[in-house]
Each structure stands twice: as C-alpha cells, then as structure tokens.
C-alpha cells in the first residue's frame, strides 16, 4: 500500500515563491488563485534582531477529509494512494467542500465552474516524478514520499525529527508534517 505525505521544513523556506509559480503553471491554476501558498509568522525578537518565519501551506491531504464528507455528489474522494482528489467531471461547483475545509486549502475555480485544490500533482507522481512544488524548491523545503515505505526520505524524516501537524483538533489527521527546526 502507498500513503503519500509531505514534510515541510519551515526553516529552509526563503519565500522565493518558486513552489507557487510551478504549481500554477503545472496545474493551469487561474490568475488570482493558488493551490499552495507561503504564509508568514508575526515578527519575533527585539530590534535590531527581528525576523519572521515563512510557512508554506496547501491541502493537508487528510486521512479523514471533511471536504469529502460534505460533497453532495461524491466529486471529492481519496484515491488508492490516500490523495484527496476532485473529479471535475462530477463536481457541480456548490463549494460546500471549500467551506468545510478547516485549512482554507480549497478555492472555487471560476473558469471551470468547479472546486479546486492541491492533489500532490498526481499525474506527475504516477509518472515517477515529484510534485512540481517539490521539484522546483531550491532550498529543499518540501519532502514528498510514501509514509508506508520505511526507507523513504519522508518516513525517515517524520520518524527522526520533531514534527507537528496543523489543527489536529479538527479530527482530519492531515498528512502534511511541519518541521520548525
């Protein structure tokens, strides 16, 4: 079995935006929308030693996706690799999934009349390539792979580093692991 996940080393992110641009180009994301983003923390420290941390975000590829549960037509589901996907041919654009996502990771693709979100570049991955955001990152901020493969970089990283996941209280069991050191 395969269970795809991603680890994000926030300390490596330099906010070059390469991941965002690569994702938009790879997935034909309309202007003004994004499948991924780079947020930032509030200022920390005291002058003259101040700074911010950059925090990449995207769909959390939840084990228990609220978005799939609320979809009235079954357009959102998990595939055999555990990736939460949207079937554009089935989606009616009602946006219930957009509202149900506790991570604000979905958006209405007005050009296509459907909901949209990250799908870990499933077509690229099935062709043996990394997701566009991972491949383009110059600082190796993102690590992608199979959590069920004990020899994979993602499994080793998640097992050896102190990680955290966002909004665990939502009960979604996200598969994006953040490493802050």
CA distances from 27 to 49, 74, 160 (A): 39, 22, 33
Classify strands 44-46 and 49-51 as parallel, antiparallel or unpaired. Answer: antiparallel
Query: pTM to 2 decimals?
Result: 0.93
pLDDT at 181 over 80: no
CATH topology of domain 4-179: Alpha-Beta Plaits (3.30.70)
pLDDT of residue 96: 97
Mean pLDDT of 68-92: 96
Q: Which residues of 125-146 are buried (b: 16+ CB within 10 A; e: fewer)?
A: beeeebbbbbbbbeeebbbbbb
List the domain boundaries for the chain.
4-179
Average pLDDT for the chain: 96
Grade residue 106 by pLDDT with cuts at 50, 70 and 90: very high
pLDDT at 42 over 90: no
State residue 174 phi and psi, 5-degree precision. Answer: -65, 150
The DSSP-derived string for 99-160 is HH-TT---EEETTTTEEE---TTHHHHHTT---HHHHH-TT--EEEEETT-TTSHHHHHHHH
State residue 37 phi and psi, 5-degree precision. Answer: -160, 170
């Amino acid at each position: 079995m395969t269970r795809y996940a991603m680890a994000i080393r926030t300390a490596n992110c330099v906010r070059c935006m390469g991941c965002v641009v690569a994702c938009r180009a790879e997935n034909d994301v309309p202007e003004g929308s994004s499948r991924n983003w780079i947020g930032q923390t509030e200022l920390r420290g005291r002058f003259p030693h101040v700074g911010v941390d950059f925090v990449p975000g995207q769909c959390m590829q939840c084990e228990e996706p609220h978005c799939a549960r609320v979809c009235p037509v079954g357009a959102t589901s998990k595939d055999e690799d555990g990736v939460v996907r949207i079937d554009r041919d089935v989606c009616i654009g009602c946006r219930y999934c957009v509202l149900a996502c506790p991570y604000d990771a979905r958006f209405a693709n007005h050009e296509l009349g459907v909901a949209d979100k990250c799908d870990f570049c499933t077509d690229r991955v099935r062709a043996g390539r990394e997701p566009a955001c991972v491949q383009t990152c110059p600082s190796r901020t993102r690590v992608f792979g199979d959590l069920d493969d004990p020899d994979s970089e993602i499994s080793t990283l998640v097992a050896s580093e102190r990680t955290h996941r966002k909004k665990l209280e939502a009960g979604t069991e996200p598969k994006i692991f953040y490493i802050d050191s």
